[in-house]
């Protein structure tokens, strides 16, 4: 703003040795304090009475804060409005999560200090951050007596997820695929293969995700390995492939959620991306296409969880359950176009489609039949999940292979 | 005090789950510098390039305002500062918008067929350096202006009286007298430019990562605190040593005496 | 900003006109154009009649975003946070910085050299290093990040700027004035309040304004110390990931206009006082 004055006396001060020695003395004190290090906090295995211990004495407060990703609800928030009308609970909905790692890094120190992070529900993808939150005891164990709709309507597949068996800490918000997104305004031919990401024709016009799990998995699929069962050798092979793609100048940039804006306005023509975002972006105009590559895609699940430090856990769990009513789940899926964990939502959407007219009808019919919202067994078979790490050493090894690719 | 905590943290080992303990693990530094040497050098290079660019752009401007600005000198300086009433982040993002591949500038040019369809400015080294130069330009121009403005016109007249040509007057009188301003300007722009990460993450692409991005990423995404702290400390040390040598080389005292407004 | 009032040119003999001066004139205007281009675009797109949350192509002129300025609750809150932190920073850093500035300018004491080193280092230090160091400190001490850590960080990086401004002013004062006040029977506090403070007030004010400007604009240090609290620059940063709404442009425009208006008023005021 204004020019900083550099005071000659100050610079002279910099060179006076006495001053520096004094500082060193001060430093000693600082160092003594700092030497104690950062505390770790490993949680004990979940016990049976945890649920009871957490939930006893908790009351409804009439309001809650919901932290979610962008493109995960109709901007008019019809479901939340209806929820507020029915229950009188106010919901503040915040689109603050751009990717798992940076969001988690932001809130972790607060969670570690047993402080509220200001959110009562957060949505985290199955993955390293999710597992770490479980390990560190940051997540409230869910009281399934308060989740009757979940018990009744959730698909069986969603009740036995390997990252959280028995839904001790989480219930799914939505699942989705990581696939290829291209802007048909710039690319005329049909894209089907993951190898197109390496096509020199699109040099400088290819986007990749910066998340190491996503990009690692894609590198492995491109080199013919299964991410779920991959070994260190597979990782290295994948990393070499990704490096080649980067160093040939094919990749323009590694993106978080920002990729959708880039492909939407033509900064990139072809990118890795998430299934539902495309439809929502197309509602705003444009012609983006989504494909699961023929070599296979990645499927993931975003989960609603309640931090142990949440101020309004009862309101939060009520809202969680609310989204498992087929009507609500259907209405959500109609807009976001991600896989709903409630199979009965399909009936709801079909019914809505039958009642709708014109363009809306077409869209709704398409959603009801879309394999991206209601995948078939075959679709599931062609997709793989992220690699689950056995321990933190393995995770670190993985990171050290893929992190340098993204930060080049 | 935070500096020493950071120094300590950089010597610790462990991870978020297990906690960190001070183990005097100097290897983190070696490892960090070896892994990210490219980014460190790149950052210093970008900082330097941005400085030179600013000098090239800013010197003529400061010169003109100082000697030909007339009664409207302050209005010109005001215009120079005008964009800086808008937040730094917003300015950078606005450039991203202006320069988008199919945006208002490139899109229009492409529409007229003046540029090939896949031409882009964003995600290039040039965009990052340009952004850096843009964002810190006033810190270069103002000290230059102050130094030039202070030159006693009598000195220049005297040089003409001694039959100096204009070029000679400039090289022998004006330029040396403006050096203190250039010194202060470089000091004030090099440090923020070479440690910035906003420009390279908004305007850059692959192979544009600067050390600031790495530090930011290690602290706020990967949460590998020791290596993040080690890299920040390395950066600080490099910059401090650089400033110190630079000040020594140019003879700090009178230079600063003159540049302090 | 401070230069604006201070560089009113004295009437000097100008050197002979250079033939290249026209070229330099054009150059200057080109640079100014370059500087203002993104700002102009930002302002323009605050008037864009876009249908959706994406504000990328021009779709017609409208004032509607000005009417719907506070529609995005989080953005409003972020702006509120920024203003509150800015004000508190101005007050606290203004006070502490003034005291340090007076001490450095007026007295000799143990540790003065060290203090000078710290102030200089803090000003010339890269922002990211300050942010990283503070984050290290907060993490090590297990302080939860949020509003208060941002405030502490802002106060910390603003103090040196205030104290240097004040110090420069104190150095130009004649100590005899304070002695005279004491001779006339004024106590320490009375002397400070009635003699010292009014004399250094312009410096305190400009230091405070500088602190406010630095605080409200800061992104890098805030990003490190914010936790899940969001300020205006942080919100903008997050919003661009999914396409930023026109309200961002509008708020940027309004802040811009307010800042410019303040600066112009200040310049006019200074001119009148001098006249």
CA-CA distance, B236 to C130, in Å (whole number)? Answer: 9
Predicted local distance difference test score (pLDDT) of residue C269: 79
Residue ranges of domains in chain B, CATH in brackets:
1-259 (1.10.3720.10)
Q: Per the structure block, which two tokens stand in for B30?
A: 């070696």
Question: What are the φ/ψ torsions at residue A170 (nearest 5 degrees)?
Answer: -145, 155
Indicate the SS3 state at residue A192. coil
Indicate whether C112 pLDDT > 80: no
Tokens found for residue A145: 């007596």
pLDDT-based confidence at residue B16 (cuts at 50, 70, 90): low
Q: Looking at residue A388, what is its pLDDT?
A: 84
- Would you state the structure tokens that stand for residue C217, as one six-digit string? 């604009």
Picking from A210-214, A257-261, B106-110, C243-247, which range would have the lowest pLDDT averaged per residue? C243-247
pLDDT score of A305 more than 90:
yes
Chain A nearest-CA distance from B172, in A, is: 26
Q: What is the pLDDT confidence band of residue A39, given thresholds at 50, 70 and 90?
A: low
pLDDT tier, C109 (very low <50, low <70, confident <90, very high otherwise): confident
Could you identify the residue written with the tokens 């949680």?
Answer: A43
- In whole angstroms, give the CA distance from residue C76 to residue A403: 36
Cβ pair A38:B120 closer than 8 A: no
A139 has which bridge partners? Answer: A307
Q: Which of B187, B189, B191 is nearest to B238 (CA)?
A: B191
**What pLDDT is attached to residue A151?**
95
Q: What is the pLDDT of residue B12?
A: 62
CA C186, CA C190: separation in Å to the nearest integer?
6
**Residue A386 has what DSSP assignment?**
P
SS3 letters for C137-163?
HHHHCCCCCCHHHHHHHHHHHHHHHHH
**Beta-bridge mates of residue B12:** B22
Determine the average pLDDT of the residues in C179-203: 86
Q: Which residue has the tokens 């008037």?
A: C47
Band of pLDDT at residue C176, cut at 50, 70 and 90: confident
pTM: 0.85
Torsion B7-B11-B16-B19 (CA) sign: negative
Q: What is the mean pLDDT of residues C237-262?
A: 87
Asked whether A267 and B118 are in contact (CB, 8 A), the reply is no
Determine which of B19-33, C6-20, C159-173, C250-264 has the lowest per-residue pLDDT on average: C6-20
Mutate to test the interface with A, among B4, B122, B136 (most CBs of A within 10 A): B4
| Position A145 pLDDT exceeds 80 | yes
Segment C69-83 shows an average pLDDT of 89
Out of A12, A22, A37, closest to residue C111 by CB: A22
DSSP-derived secondary structure letter, C14: P
A48 φ, ψ to 5°? Answer: -65, -35
Q: Cβ(C207)–Cβ(C98) under 8 Å?
A: yes
Output the CA–CA distances (angstroms, integers) from residue A378 to A159, A218, A228, A342, A382, in the order listed.
Answer: 20, 20, 18, 19, 6
Distance of CA C229 to the CA centre of its chain: 21
Q: Hey, how many other C-beta atoms are within 10 angstroms of the C-beta on A164?
A: 21
Query: Which residues on chain B are in Cβ contact (under 8 Å) with A205?
Result: 118
Select from B204, B228, B208 the least CA-distant residue to B217.
Answer: B228
Chain C residue closest in CA terms to A15: C117
Average pLDDT over residues A199-225: 94
End-to-end CA distance of chain B: 31
Tokens found for residue A58:
């908790």
Alpha carbons within 13 angstroms on the beta-carbon side of residue B155 total: 14
Task: Check residue C43 and give its pLDDT.
Answer: 93
Question: Does residue A211 contact residue A256 with C-beta atoms inside 8 Å?
Answer: yes
- Residues counted in chain B: 261
Tell me the per-residue pLDDT of A65-93, one tens digit each, with 9 for 90 and over: 999 998 899 988 999 999 999 999 999 99
Residue B54 has pLDDT above 90, yes or no: yes
pLDDT mean across residues, chain A? 87
Residues A345 and A175: beta-carbon distance below 8 Å: no
For an interface test with C, the pick among A3, A6, A7, A253 (most C C-beta atoms closer than 10 Å) comes out as: A7
If one compares C80 and A43, the residue with the highest pLDDT of the two is C80
Residue B70 region by backbone torsions, left for phi larger than 0, else alpha for psi between -120 and 50, else beta? left
Interface membership of C243 toward A (CB under 8 Å): yes
Query: CA angle C167-C169-C173, nearest 5°?
Result: 110
Phi and psi dihedrals of A252, rounded to 5? Answer: -85, -40
pLDDT band, residue B21 (cuts 50/70/90): low
- Report the C-alpha gap between C38 and C45 in whole angstroms: 11
Q: Do A3 and C228 touch (CB under 8 A)?
A: no
C123 close contact with A: CB closer than 8 A: yes
Mean pLDDT of chain C: 83
DSSP of C177-201 = HHHHHHHTT--HHHHIIIIIHHHHH
Q: Give the Cα separation of A324 and B115 in Å (integer).
A: 52
Question: What does the alpha-carbon distance between residue A25 and residue B137 come to, in Å, rounded to a whole number?
Answer: 39
> What burial class does residue B30 get, using C-beta atoms within 10 Å of its C-beta: 0-12 exposed, 13-18 middle, 19+ buried?
exposed
Contact assignment for B192 to C126 by CB distance below 8 Å: yes
- Strands B12-15, B19-22: pairing kind: antiparallel
**What whole-number distance in Å separates Cα of residue C135 and Cα of residue B229?**
10
Residue A282 touches chain B, beta carbons under 8 Å: no
Residue A38 has pLDDT above 60, yes or no: no
Count how many residues are written for chain C.
275
What pLDDT does A19 receive?
46
Please answer yes or no on whether A403 and B222 come within 8 Å at the CB atom.
Answer: yes
Mean pLDDT of chain B: 84
Give the integer Cα–Cα distance in Å for A332 and A76.
Answer: 11
SS3 per-residue string spanning A344-392: CHHHHHHHHHHHCCHHHHHHHHHHHHCCCCCCCHHHHHCEECCCCCCCH
Task: Read off the pLDDT of each residue in C2-15 and give the average, rounded to a whole number.
Answer: 44
């Amino acid at each position: 703003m204004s020019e900083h004055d550099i005071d000659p006396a100050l610079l002279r001060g910099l060179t006076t040795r006495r001053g520096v020695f004094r500082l060193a003395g001060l430093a000693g004190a600082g160092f003594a304090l700092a030497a104690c290090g950062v505390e770790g906090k490993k949680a004990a295995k979940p016990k049976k009475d945890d649920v009871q211990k957490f939930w006893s004495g908790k009351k409804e407060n009439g309001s809650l804060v919901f932290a979610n990703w962008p493109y995960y609800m109709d901007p008019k928030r019809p479901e939340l409005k209806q929820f507020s009308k029915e229950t009188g609970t106010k919901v503040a909905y915040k689109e603050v999560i751009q990717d798992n790692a940076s969001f988690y890094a932001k809130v972790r120190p607060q969670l570690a200090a047993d402080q509220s992070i200001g959110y009562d529900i957060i949505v985290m993808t199955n993955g390293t951050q999710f597992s770490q939150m479980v390990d560190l005891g940051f997540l409230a164990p869910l009281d399934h007596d308060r989740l009757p709709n979940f018990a009744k309507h959730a698909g069986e597949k969603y009740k036995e997820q390997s990252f959280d068996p028995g839904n001790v800490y989480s219930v799914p918000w939505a699942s989705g695929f990581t696939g290829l997104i291209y802007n048909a305004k710039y690319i005329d031919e049909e894209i089907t293969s993951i190898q197109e990401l390496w096509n020199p024709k699109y040099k400088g016009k290819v986007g990749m995700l910066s998340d190491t799990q996503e990009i690692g998995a894609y590198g492995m699929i491109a080199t013919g390995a299964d991410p779920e069962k991959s070994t260190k050798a597979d990782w290295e092979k994948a990393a070499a492939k990704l490096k080649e793609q980067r160093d040939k100048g094919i990749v323009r940039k590694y993106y978080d959620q920002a990729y959708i804006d880039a492909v939407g306005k033509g900064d990139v023509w072809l990118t890795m991306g998430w299934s539902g975002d495309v439809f929502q972006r197309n509602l705003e105009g444009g012609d983006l296409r989504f494909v699961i590559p023929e070599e296979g895609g990645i499927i993931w699940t975003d989960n609603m969880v309640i931090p142990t430090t949440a101020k309004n856990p009862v309101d939060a769990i009520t809202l969680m359950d609310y989204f498992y009513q087929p009507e609500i789940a259907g209405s959500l899926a109609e807009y976001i176009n991600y896989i709903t964990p409630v199979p009965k939502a399909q009936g709801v959407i079909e019914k809505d489609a039958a009642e709708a007219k014109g363009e809306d009808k077409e869209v709704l019919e398409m959603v009801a039949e879309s394999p991206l919202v209601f995948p078939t067994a075959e679709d599931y078979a062609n997709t793989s999940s992220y690699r689950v790490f056995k321990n933190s050493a393995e995770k670190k090894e993985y990171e050290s292979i893929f992190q340098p690719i993204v930060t080049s | 005090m935070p500096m020493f905590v950071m120094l300590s943290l950089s010597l610790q080992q462990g991870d978020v789950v297990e906690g960190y303990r001070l183990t005097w693990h100097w290897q983190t530094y070696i490892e960090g510098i070896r892994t990210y040497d490219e980014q460190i050098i790149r950052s210093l290079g970008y900082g330097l390039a941005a400085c030179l660019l600013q000098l090239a752009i800013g010197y003529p401007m400061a010169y003109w305002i100082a000697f030909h600005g007339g009664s409207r000198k302050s209005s010109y300086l005001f215009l120079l500062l005008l964009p800086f009433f808008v937040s730094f982040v917003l300015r950078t993002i606005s450039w991203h918008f202006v320069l988008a591949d199919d945006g208002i500038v490139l899109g229009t040019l492409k529409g007229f067929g003046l540029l090939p369809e896949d031409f882009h400015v964003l995600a290039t080294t040039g965009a990052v350096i340009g952004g850096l130069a843009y964002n810190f330009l006033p810190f270069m121009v103002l000290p230059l202006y102050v130094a030039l403005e202070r030159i006693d016109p009598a000195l220049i007249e005297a040089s003409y009286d001694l039959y100096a040509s204009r070029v000679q007057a400039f090289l022998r009188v004006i330029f040396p007298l403006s050096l203190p301003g250039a010194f202060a300007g470089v000091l004030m722009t090099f440090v923020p430019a070479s440690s910035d990460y906003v420009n390279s993450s908004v305007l850059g692409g692959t192979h544009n990562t600067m050390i600031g991005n790495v530090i930011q990423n290690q602290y706020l995404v990967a949460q590998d605190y020791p290596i993040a702290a080690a890299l920040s400390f390395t950066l600080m040390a490099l910059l401090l040593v650089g400033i110190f040598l630079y000040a020594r080389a140019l003879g700090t005292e009178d230079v600063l005496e003159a540049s302090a407004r | 900003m401070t230069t604006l009032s201070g560089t009113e040119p004295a009437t000097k003999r100008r050197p002979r006109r250079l033939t290249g001066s026209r070229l330099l004139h054009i150059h200057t205007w080109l640079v100014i154009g370059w500087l203002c281009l993104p700002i102009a675009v930002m302002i323009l797109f605050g008037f864009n009649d876009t249908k959706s949350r994406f504000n990328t192509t021009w779709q017609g002129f409208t004032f509607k975003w000005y009417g719907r300025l506070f529609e995005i609750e989080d953005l409003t809150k972020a702006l509120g946070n920024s203003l509150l932190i800015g004000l508190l920073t101005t007050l606290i850093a203004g006070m502490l910085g003034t005291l340090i500035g007076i001490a450095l300018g007026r007295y000799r004491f143990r540790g003065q050299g060290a203090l000078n080193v710290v102030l200089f280092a803090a000003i010339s230090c890269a922002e990211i290093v300050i942010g990283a160091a503070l984050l290290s400190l907060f993490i090590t001490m297990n302080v939860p990040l949020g509003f208060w850590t941002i405030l502490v960080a802002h106060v910390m990086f603003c103090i040196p700027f205030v104290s240097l401004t004040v110090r420069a002013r104190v150095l130009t004062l004649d100590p005899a004035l304070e002695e005279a006040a004491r001779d006339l029977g004024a106590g320490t506090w009375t002397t400070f309040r009635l003699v010292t403070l009014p004399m250094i007030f312009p410096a305190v004010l400009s230091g405070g304004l500088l602190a406010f400007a630095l605080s409200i604009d800061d992104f890098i240090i805030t990003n490190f110390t914010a936790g899940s609290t969001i300020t205006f620059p942080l919100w903008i940063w997050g919003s661009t990931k999914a396409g930023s709404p026109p309200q961002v442009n509008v708020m940027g425009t309004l802040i811009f206009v307010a800042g410019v208006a303040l600066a112009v008023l200040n310049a006019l005021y200074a001119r009148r006082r001098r006249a």
